Amino acid sequence: MFTDVSAYRIDKNEYIHRRDALSPKVEENTAVILFAGHAPTASHDEAYPFLPNRSFFYFCGIEQEDSVLILSKKDGKSPLLARLYIHPREPEKEKWTGKRLSFEEATEISGISDVRLLDDLKGDIDEILQGSTKIAWDETDPSPERVRLEQALAKTDRFDATTDISGSVTLLRMVKSPSEIEAIRLAINVTNESLAVLEESLHPGMRECEAMAILECEMVKRGSLFQSFSTIAAGGRNTLCLHYPTPLSLLHDGDMLQIDCGARAGGYCSDISRAFAVNGKRDGRQQALWELIHECKKTSLDAIRPGATIASVNEATRKTAAAGLRDLGVISASEPDALEACKRYYWHNTLHHMGLDVHDVCEREMPFVPGMVFAVEPGIYIPEWGFGFRIEDDVLLTDTGAEYLSC
């Protein structure tokens, strides 16, 4: 298979629906102001790759730097009125930075008919500040634009009228729509296809970075220009570093290779981890750990149901890991508390929410409801054996339980 997501976008009606869903959470006579942000500077003439602020993107789908979204609510019955501010088309600048959106293109992506130039933004915000309209924003947004707005408000008597909208946005983002699930499935397809190519190419004598390059090349060929996060490729004892940062080591006959990676489609992430035997065949200990981690995954899947929590899934999965480690002799039968001893080998949580971010926003103690998507990643790391790994897949919670998206 060859999944191409290079031109994939979520339909504008989805963004209209999301703005409508936010409306009941916004008080009347309030303006919600959200900023796309700007890529951080890497050096005096170069920037890091740009991804828009996720709360901004969630409500309009625009991926152009410096853009601003204002959602206004005049009274309790009216829907949110959306205004989008973007850079003007400037052919000379576009020779250097690439094509900017026209008003018509921005409308087609976002479903917002009121598109204005960023030059109009200051006057419109000044009008809001001078009036009686309350301000709402995402306090988790670190962009300089939001900080400057906060500083401007601090100079007025209006600062007490501000509201943090991030909690309401988080609750909306935690439950995925059919369109979001479709985008995640596409990102998963890209990731799985790329992993299959890597597995076929893997052999002793490769460097970890070569394995990573094969994988990321396949993702880019399929239209995922930016991965969900920095790919992890760790072989041998390097698998004992969870976020191994320097994939330069040679892969030897008998090593396991830990791959942790994800593609993007329509802004949405996948997150999949695989543990490959470099020579294509797991030895006895590798096979034993492989089987135990799969047993942990089965426990996790059974525990993910409506009403469960991150904590309850963690507890169930760790019990399975502890029992398995005792059976393997890693935890001594003389140790009275296997669960406590398990902490030496089970280092991280079992699952996390996934969506626009690979570790998506969430209320950690909130009971699960259908429509949530998780990356489930039980992992066991045994320094005495010289290796460890995790096996991670993405799941959707339905009315009846968890459904694998990536297996």
Please tell me the predicted confidence (pLDDT) of residue 306: 98
Task: Say which residue the tokens 């030895």 belong to.
Answer: 283
Residue 324, Cβ density class (10 Å: 0-12 exposed, 13-18 middle, ≥19 buried): buried
Residue type at position 66: D
Q: Find the radius of gyration of the CA atoms of the chain.
A: 24
Residue 34 has which token pair?
């959200």
Q: Do 5 and 224 form a contact (C-beta atoms < 8 A)?
A: yes
Q: Which residues pair with 73 in a beta bridge?
A: 30
Question: What was the pLDDT predicted at 337?
Answer: 96
Sequential pLDDT tens for the chain (407 residues)? 899 999 999 999 999 999 999 999 999 889 999 999 999 999 988 999 999 999 999 999 999 999 999 999 988 778 899 999 999 999 999 999 899 999 999 999 999 999 999 999 999 988 887 777 889 999 999 888 888 888 887 777 766 668 899 999 999 999 999 999 999 999 999 999 999 999 999 999 999 999 999 999 999 999 999 999 999 999 999 999 999 999 999 999 999 999 999 999 999 999 999 999 999 999 999 999 999 999 999 999 999 999 999 999 999 999 999 999 999 999 999 999 999 999 999 999 999 999 999 999 999 999 999 999 999 999 999 999 999 999 999 999 999 999 999 98
What distance in Å separates the CA atoms of residue 382 and residue 334, rounded to the nearest whole number?
A: 18
Per-residue pLDDT at 159: 60
Instruction: Dig out the tokens for 251 from the structure.
Output: 């892969």
Q: What is the DSSP letter of 6?
A: T
Asked if 373 contacts 273 with a C-beta cutoff of 8 angstroms, the reply is: no
Can you give the pLDDT at residue 75?
A: 80
What pairs with residue 397 in β-bridges?
Answer: 402
> Under DSSP, is residue 2 helix (H, G, I), strand (E, B) or coil?
coil
Fill in the DSSP letter of residue 62: -
In 236-359, the DSSP E strands lie at 256-261, 264-265, 268-269, 272-277, 351-353
Q: State residue 78's pLDDT score.
A: 80
Quote the CA–CA distance of 317 and 312 in Å, as a whole number: 9
Which residue segments constitute the domains of the chain, with CATH numbers given?
Answer: 12-174 (3.40.350.10), 178-404 (3.90.230.10)
* CA within 13 Å, CB half, 326: 16
Who's near 166: CB < 8 A, 6+ residues apart?
A: 55, 138, 139, 140, 141, 361
Enter the pTM of the model.
Answer: 0.97
User: Which pLDDT score is estimated for 261?
Assistant: 98
What string of DSSP letters covers 204-250?
Answer: TT-BHHHHHHHHHHHHHHTT--S-SS--EEEEGGGGGSTT-----SB
Q: What are phi and psi of 377, to 5 degrees?
A: -140, 65
